[in-house]
Structure 1
């Protein structure tokens, strides 16, 4: 079952349960999927494209929540965090910090990186291999730390 059909089924159940916050998050996901489907030449999205859409949605909401907290608007930040929780249900399990570092050490050994000057080579491979399994900020921070 594709992500789009799963989201549509979840929207129906959220409507029946009258769960407005969940419904809002699910509709945002569906909107992003439809927008991506109609913007390109491909009509059917791959699972990688679907994961990128979900990761982008999570990142946008986390950034918004940080801004709201910084401006003293906790109620708006809570709303964003609730949407993040719903969206993360459809993402694969994220790597822990230890798992991420282990995978990155493998990538560093494979690429043959030796120092901070090889950051670009490692990041290119790491972001492709770990897409949907770790956030870009976490990957970047861990790579910088490992290459020191």
Structure 2
């Protein structure tokens, strides 16, 4: 507020609002770290979608706001895995689950989603798992 950073202020207010909403739905129960990470990931995904739509429509003014908010929210997430790190992690999960083909994608995705929660988004995990199982 003191820095007059309107984008950061709006982003943080949105995050706080989502967390308070979750607490209200849970009747005041404590929100876990996993739930907070899920909220942040969902908010980033929403902003990415909005950014893409605004860019496609030629509304760069709105797209820039969404991109700036996305960067502010990403600061509060754990460090995201690089493509190489993600590939290594999924290879380990594939060997642990004994998956051999694309038919075993469900087993791999279940284990990977739990193991990599907050470190990578579901879309990246899914794409890498499909690539490695094909």
TM-score, with length taken from structure 2: 0.97
Q: Secondary structure at the match of 1:72?
A: coil
CA distance in 1, matches of 2:9, 2:121: 25
- Alignment of 1:97 with 2:83, yes or no, is yes
CA offsets, 1:91-125, max 9 Å, x none? Answer: 01000000000000000000000001001110111
Corresponding residue for 1:79? Answer: 65
Corresponding residue for 1:131? Answer: 117
Q: Secondary structure at the match of 1:16?
A: coil
Corresponding residue for 1:31? Answer: 17
Structure 2: tracts of 5 or more residues without a match:
none
Please identify runs of 4+ aligned residues in structure 1 that moved more than 4 A: none
Corresponding residue for 2:38? Answer: 52
Matching of residues 109-120 of structure 1 within 5 Å: 109-120=95-106
**Deviation for aligned residue 1:41:** 4.0
Corresponding residue for 2:94? Answer: 108
CA distance in 1, matches of 2:85, 2:28: 34
Corresponding residue for 1:3? Answer: none
TM-score, with length taken from structure 1: 0.88
Q: In terms of mean alpha carbon deviation, does 84-93 or 36-45 score higher?
A: 36-45
- Alignment of 1:144 with 2:130, yes or no, is yes
* Number of matched pairs: 134
CA distance in 2, matches of 1:41, 1:95: 34
CA distance in 1, matches of 2:51, 2:41: 15
Corresponding residue for 1:4? Answer: none
